[in-house]
Structure 1
Amino acid sequence: MNFDIALHIDLAIEDNDFVLNDSLSPRTLKKADVIGQDIKHRILESGLLVKLIGLRNKNGIAPILTDIELLTEQDDRIKPGTINVYRNDDGTLNITAQTRQYGSLQSGL
């Protein structure tokens, strides 16, 4: 029995609600997807995204992106120094990182 999988299982949440599968049961996430969801929720709860609203100046945006990187790096399941946060032209964020157990991770906000 592979116990690594049992360590990282969670219910999928989008827009503050459970995501249901075809049989109307809550969909589950595994491995790196769980870590990505946890990081996304940590960032949303931190209030850092609110600070980005309306900012267009790169000098104002860069420190907030750095704070998001530092917040993400606090997760022990992520390899330190592998986190990259990108702000897209449409204002959304992409986060990439390497997990300790499951390889690469990509999450969007």
Structure 2
Amino acid sequence: MEHDELPSDRADENRATARIACKYILQCVRQKCLFNRYFIEKVSEIIHIEWKKRNPNHKQKELFVSYANLPDTEKTKDRKAILVACRLFNELYLYYWFNTTSIHCTERII
């Protein structure tokens, strides 16, 4: 399903998740930190925490657990959001704007 075909609530959720992913990617770029499994997991956890704050009445109550206790399928959704943002950072050559290099994850994440 294309983004413009999504129901508005799901499109809003995708945008909110993308904002968080981009914020932490830019922060990591500025601090010259490693894009490794630890970074991906840390930001994935933040994405999940923020999702819970935005969706207190969500019907899937089993998702209202800590990130560590989420099923792998749900964790993968959060990880993919970060990896997509990293890919876009590279594909749009945003590293030129930040006078840095493209993002390379130091290990296989998914």
TM bin, normalised by shorter chain, reads 0.3 to 0.5
Structure with the bigger percentage of helix: 2
Higher relative contact order (CA 8 A, sep 6+): 2
Report the TM-score when normalising by structure 2: 0.40
Structure with the bigger percentage of strand: 1
Report the TM-score when normalising by structure 1: 0.40
